[in-house]
Amino acid sequence: LLQKEGLITLKDSSNILSTIQDITSNPNGYQFVELEAAQVPRSLDDVALAAINTNYALNAGLTPGKDALAIEAKDSPYVNIVTVLKGNENDPRIKKLMEALHSPEIKKFIEDKYQGAIVPAF
């Protein structure tokens, strides 16, 4: 996200496991402090900028669509996925679940309830 916003450059922008050691350019001289994700919202008074997982932002009373400077796009590699045991991919119950999860009604529910904080990736 920070690279997409032009704040830093990474060695390999496709590596979703990049760390601060993978930053090759930091033109603004940001100092990074790694925290456990749940602690990040509590640090807001002590930092200029924070990258917060949506669930922790919502739990902290933040409205990502209003409070965030940038939000992951729906093509983010961090979307939630449904996994099933090998061999159950064609189970009618799984197919029914997937149809429901990808329905226009669920998409509208997500958009209405989360107002851009959570983006349907389907």
Domain boundaries, the chain: 78-122
pTM, entire model: 0.74
Q: Residue 76's pLDDT is what?
A: 81
Residue 86 has pLDDT above 90, yes or no: yes
Query: What average pLDDT does the chain have?
Result: 92
Q: Residue 51's pLDDT is what?
A: 93
User: 72: which 2 tokens?
Assistant: 């992951």
Alpha-carbon span 23 to 8, nearest angstrom: 7
Question: Within the chain, what is the greatest distance between any pair of CA atoms?
Answer: 53
Structural Rg of the chain based on CA atoms: 18
For 12-53, how does the pLDDT look when each residue is reduced to its tens digit (9 = 90+)?
A: 988 989 999 999 999 999 999 999 999 999 999 999 889 999
Q: How far is CA 54 from CA 4, 7, 60, 67, 80, in A?
A: 18, 20, 10, 11, 12
**Residue where the block lists tokens 């090998």:** 86
For 16-26, how does the pLDDT look when each residue is reduced to its tens digit (9 = 90+)?
A: 899 999 999 99
Strand (E) or helix (H) holding 10: strand 9-10
Residue 117 has pLDDT above 90, yes or no: no
Alpha-carbon span 95 to 76, nearest angstrom: 24
